[in-house]
């Protein structure tokens, strides 16, 4: 049962990254794709019907984490208090940037909220990537299952790490690059003419950086935490995951050259899924590895709720996820197709 809930939490986080990832990426390249106020409004128009729904997956993942692994929830939310507050304010700033931009027809008003939307999107992609890097690298857990991390220490990977070091900054850069490409792929699907060309150009440029940063991050991960290879040695089927990542990168390049925007976007989503599944596979059965020693790590066994509660919760989760998936399918079908640039917000 613990493994099932581990997979469920990983699934919901993956759904958040794939869905909210493209509108975060759209914000990161907001000024590159939108060359004037009308086109930047078009970027918001492309994500407008779905961005707040996409963010619900983050809330749902947090709620699921609290239900299934309460020890992990309490430990992580206390140890990561500072970055979580930063992320919260960035989410707020980004949300009001989207909602307030169209409330007043003034160039300075539009420019300010465009800037707020873009900068908060960029910083969020970096912080989310750094958060994943912290989980993979490990945090300084003590015998009580708690920890504290300053924003940074000496930028080295060791037993007493900061939130930011050379490794987590690298994972943040990978996240920024990957989600920028993902957002550009989505905008290529939703836009036409000049905006479509610039979105596709962004995909083409980002692809080279993504290949380089992906290879570098994999090498750095093995260097920073060699234990990530243990599951791959014990279960060779796991090597299919890197194959999926390589295949997705190749598919992005191929469909980009063929100007096939939808398959390119799907390939970008496959890359994100592959990278996240690879990370989850590497840390299992840990849910929060400890840099201070494996004996302090939080696992699916010592961090999970009671088996009876997990069993009952699984029934309700299946009901809830069925409703949610149905809603999202209807939502994306209703707002499919290209945007009509200049129409109502």
Domain segments of the chain: what residues?
2-334
For the chain, list residues with pLDDT below 50: none
Tens-place pLDDT, residues 115-155 = 999 999 999 999 999 999 999 998 988 888 888 888 888 88
- For the entire predicted model, the pTM comes to 0.94
Residue 279's pLDDT is 94
Q: Which of 243, 270, 242, 240 is nearest to 255 (CA)?
A: 270
Q: Which of 193, 343, 275 is nearest to 13 (CA)?
A: 275
Contact of 132 with 171, CB cutoff 8 Å: yes
Tens-place pLDDT, residues 184-223 = 999 999 999 899 999 999 999 999 999 999 999 999 999 9
Contact of 68 with 8, CB cutoff 8 Å: yes
In 80-192, where does DSSP find H-type helix? 81-100, 107-137, 166-190
């Amino acid at each position: 049962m613990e493994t099932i809930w581990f997979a469920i939490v990983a699934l919901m986080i993956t759904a958040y990254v794939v869905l909210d990832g493209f509108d975060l990426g759209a914000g990161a390249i907001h000024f590159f794709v939108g060359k004037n106020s009308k086109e930047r409004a078009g970027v918001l128009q492309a994500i407008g019907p779905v961005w707040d729904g996409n963010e619900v997956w983050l809330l749902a993942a947090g709620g699921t984490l609290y239900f299934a692994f309460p020890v992990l929830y309490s430990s992580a939310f206390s140890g990561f208090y500072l970055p979580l507050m930063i992320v919260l304010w960035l989410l707020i700033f980004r949300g009001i940037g989207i909602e307030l931009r169209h409330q007043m027809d003034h160039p300075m008003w539009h420019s300010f909220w465009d800037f707020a939307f873009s900068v908060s999107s960029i910083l969020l992609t970096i912080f989310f990537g750094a958060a994943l890097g912290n989980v993979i690298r490990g945090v300084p857990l003590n015998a009580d299952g708690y920890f504290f991390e300053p924003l940074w220490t000496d930028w080295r990977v060791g037993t007493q790490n900061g939130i930011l070091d050379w490794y987590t900054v690298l994972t943040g850069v990978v996240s920024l690059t990957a989600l920028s490409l993902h957002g550009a792929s989505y905008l290529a699907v939703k836009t036409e003419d000049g905006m479509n060309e610039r979105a596709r150009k962004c995909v083409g440029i980002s692809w080279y950086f993504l290949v380089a940063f992906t290879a570098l991050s994999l090498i750095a991960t093995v260097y920073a935490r060699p234990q990530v290879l243990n599951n791959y040695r014990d279960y060779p089927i796991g090597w299919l995951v890197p194959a999926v990542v390589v295949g997705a990168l190749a598919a992005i390049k191929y469909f980009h050259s063929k100007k096939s925007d939808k398959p390119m976007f799907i390939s970008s989503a496959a890359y994100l899924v592959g990278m996240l599944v690879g990370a989850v596979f590497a840390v299992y059965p840990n849910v929060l590895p400890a840099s201070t020693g494996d004996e302090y790590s939080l696992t699916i066994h010592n961090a999970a709720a009671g088996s009876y509660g997990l069993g009952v919760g699984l029934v309700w989760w299946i009901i809830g996820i069925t409703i949610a998936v149905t809603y999202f399918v209807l939502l994306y079908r209703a707002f499919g197709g290209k945007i009509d640039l200049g129409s109502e917000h």
